[in-house]
Amino acid sequence: MNLFQAIIIAIVEGLTEFLPVSSTGHMIITSTILGIAQDDFVKFFTVAIQLGAILSVVVLYWRRFLMSLNFYFKLLVAFIPAAIFGILFSDQIDALLENALVVGITLFLGGVIFLFVDKWFENEKAMSDEMPNYKKSLIIGFFQTIAMIPGVSRSAATIIGGLTQKLTRKAAAEFSFFLAVPTMFAATAKKAYDFYNQGLVLDQPQINLLIVGNIVAFLVALLAIKGFIGFLTKHGFKAFGYYRIAVGAIIIIMILSGISLTI
């Protein structure tokens, strides 16, 4: 991986991590287009630059992170299901991550579902803009476990989970952003542990790429989050549905055409 490739991957990560479009699916397509070999460092890089994206949430919503301890306890409650499922089904999740066809199919099917989400939750006046309580946080946390199937999108699963708990689109999206902080931090920490547990050590050029990647992911995610909240509040999910269908179809067509896709 060279500097140009690292910047492109980081831009894609920053744009797609918090949008309900599956960053995994976009990483597959981008890596294939760039011709990046999926070695241990590339796999570590694509996860580690999530830290930059995480930081964008903390910076944009820093006041929320200075709220009472209840804020953190609710995030912990919502995070627990993913932590348990991640430990119990780690091998199965890793196997699915290597199956690009699964990503393409789930992206496509998720897109079809998104075409109807606005109708299912159209009465926003009856919904709340408040932080969910502990019970609702836990239920949203269980929705997040669905995103362990590659292509589902962690953002999509948790936002829809929030809508089922009578949150407005804005409140559901924001809670999804907050929940991303412990979830993505844990995923990055596990990837770092696995990387070093194999006896692998980063050299200086690789460290430099990680620094650049995190900075780029941070800056792009800042813009993506701001734009997403405004768009979602005004226009809903249908556009994301059509987009997911298109990306899923591209992945499926590429596979059927004999193009090797890896992540």
Q: Give pLDDT, residue 126.
A: 55
Residue 128, strand partner residues: 167
CA distance 171 to 92: 32
> Is the residue at 263 inside a domain?
no
- Answering whether pTM is above 0.85, one says yes
pLDDT tens figures, 157-194: 999 999 999 999 889 999 999 999 999 898 888 878 88
> Is the residue at 51 inside a domain?
yes
- Cβ atoms of 179 and 133 closer than 8 Å: no
CA distance 213 to 108: 29
Q: Give pLDDT, residue 111.
A: 94
Give the mean model confidence (pLDDT) for residues 120-143: 83
> Is the residue at 57 inside a domain?
yes
> Is the residue at 262 inside a domain?
no
> How many domains is the chain built from?
1
> Is the residue at 161 inside a domain?
yes
Q: Token match 């800042």: residue?
A: 222
CA distance 156 to 74: 19
Sign of CA dihedral 92, 73, 177, 234: positive
Query: What SS3 state is found at 167?
Result: strand
The percentage of residues in the chain with a pLDDT greater than 90, rounded to a whole number, is 51
Helix 90-97 with 69-88: angle, nearest 10 deg: 80
> Is the residue at 25 inside a domain?
yes
DSSP 128: B
> Is the residue at 67 inside a domain?
yes
Q: Which domain holds residue 52?
A: 3-256
Q: Give pLDDT, residue 96.
A: 75
Give the mean model confidence (pLDDT) for residues 35-51: 82
Q: CB atoms < 10 A from the CB of 246, how many? A: 12
pLDDT tens figures, 97-108: 778 888 889 999
> Is the residue at 209 inside a domain?
yes
